[in-house]
Amino acid sequence: MTDTITIRRPDDWHVHLRDGAMLEAVAPFTAKQFGRAIIMPNLSPPVTSAASAAAYRDRIMAALPAGSGFTPLMTCYLTDDADADDIAAGHAAGIFTAAKLYPANATTNSAHGVTDVAHIMPVLERMQEIGMPLLVHGEVTDSDIDIFDREAVFIERVMKTLIGALPDLKVVFEHITTEQAVRFVDSCGPNVAATITPHHLHINRNAMFAGGIRPHAYCLPVAKREIHRLALRKAATSGSPKYFLGTDSAPHEIHAKESACGCAGIFNAPYALESYAAVFDEEGALDRLEGFASEHGPNFYGLSLNEDKVTLARSSAVIPENLAVADATLVPFHAGSELNWRIL
């Protein structure tokens, strides 16, 4: 049995660092594990211009512990009136690494999202031309579509048309949760990839209702049936360069989660790599963790690989029930249960 594993430092290709006091509280966790991270732009108001992204990047840098080598990679929140020239200029200036498509009202702070992809076709055409990746929250928002079917329906109604119209656009299907998404991503060319979260590899939808309602297992897209979790595990551990690490760590204060209308989001940043390592270990695929965590993402984005290393050791520890950081109380993923890996 392998008891330690050393890999290139991983990157997180999808994370919510928030702003203000929450940013101060959560940024050190991500910066401790990862070399770089794709920073989600769903602040309120959203990050829609290169100037606001540059200012947000400065606030992130200021929230990092002294001496941190962490690099935030910024994204542009697309709206119906997104401007192709602005976005291309922000990309050329090295401010925007990618742009994010939130269907309007699909998830947290997505009210300003895109109401119809047709509205942003000129932007997407330009992104295809300049090789700028489009990151997609892939769920339809129609209330007549069952919440467990919203990703699968999005593939049929939006993704297939999008890739058909823009066959060379670099697309990351973010936080995939279904076997349909795996099948779709596998069927596309190398310009279409996906991130997979630790929580969708660990839990199925039963976790939300285990002995009562469990708000800390609620995120969007919601966890699905067990067959979907197994399909995600297979994809993540397959060695395919199309799948890479994206935690979707999405902190909300404990009172916003434990509420009559609790927020969607799982805060997994503090033990993210340990959580992925447990999955790869259970699947007998520890030798593929480095590709998923540290190589496939930078290769897809056309960035260099991190040169420094991290070592994980097999060692069991119980994850705390909550973390009091700065003024916030946050419940981490795996709270109260054991994880069998730790970072040395």
Interface contacts to ligand NCD, rule CB under 6 A: 16, 42, 107-108, 137, 219-220, 248, 250, 264-265
Q: Is 303 exposed, middle or buried (0-12, 13-18, 19+ CB in 10 A)?
A: middle
9 binds, among ligand NCD, Zn ion, none (CB under 5 to 8 A by kind): none
Q: Which residues pair with 332 in a beta bridge?
A: 267
Of 105 and 311, nearer to ligand NCD (C-beta) is 105
Structure tokens at 199: 């929580």
Give all strands of the β-sheet with 36-39 in edge-to-edge order: 12-15, 36-39, 71-77, 96-101, 134-136, 171-173, 192-196, 243-245
155 binds, among ligand NCD, Zn ion, none (CB under 5 to 8 A by kind): none
Of 6 and 259, nearer to ligand NCD (C-beta) is 259
Q: Which residues make up the interface to Zn ion (CB under 5 A)?
A: 107, 137, 248
Q: Which residue is nearest to Zn ion (CB)?
A: 137
What CA–CA distances, in Å, run from 44 to 31, 38, 74, 109? 23, 18, 16, 7
- Which amino acid appears at position 154 of this protein? F
Count of C-beta atoms within a 10 Å radius of residue 79: 18
Q: Cβ 34 to Zn ion, closest distance in Å?
A: 15
Structure tokens at 133: 């990746």
108 binds, among ligand NCD, Zn ion, none (CB under 5 to 8 A by kind): ligand NCD
27 binds, among ligand NCD, Zn ion, none (CB under 5 to 8 A by kind): none
Of 33 and 75, nearer to Zn ion (C-beta) is 75
Q: Cβ 152 to ligand NCD, closest distance in Å?
A: 17
Of 33 and 107, nearer to Zn ion (C-beta) is 107
Sign of CA dihedral 113, 116, 119, 123: positive
99 binds, among ligand NCD, Zn ion, none (CB under 5 to 8 A by kind): none
Q: Cβ 139 to ligand NCD, closest distance in Å?
A: 8
Residue positions annotated with a catalytic role: 248
Sign of CA dihedral 22, 24, 30, 35: positive
- Give the C-alpha separation, 338 to 318, whole Å: 4
Q: Which helix (H) or strand (E) holds 222?
A: none
Q: Cβ 18 to ligand NCD, closest distance in Å?
A: 8
Q: Cβ 32 to ligand NCD, closest distance in Å?
A: 21
Q: Are 245 and 195 in contact (CB under 8 A)?
A: yes
What CA–CA distances, in Å, run from 215 to 10, 129, 264, 269, 331? 29, 42, 8, 17, 10
Q: Cβ 6 to ligand NCD, closest distance in Å?
A: 31
Of 265 and 291, nearer to ligand NCD (C-beta) is 265
265 binds, among Zn ion, ligand NCD, none (CB under 5 to 8 A by kind): ligand NCD
Sign of CA dihedral 213, 217, 220, 222: negative
Q: DSSP class of residue 332? A: B
Of 264 and 313, nearer to ligand NCD (C-beta) is 264
Backbone angles phi, psi at 9, to 5 degrees: -60, 130
Backbone angles phi, psi at 266, to 5 degrees: -120, 130
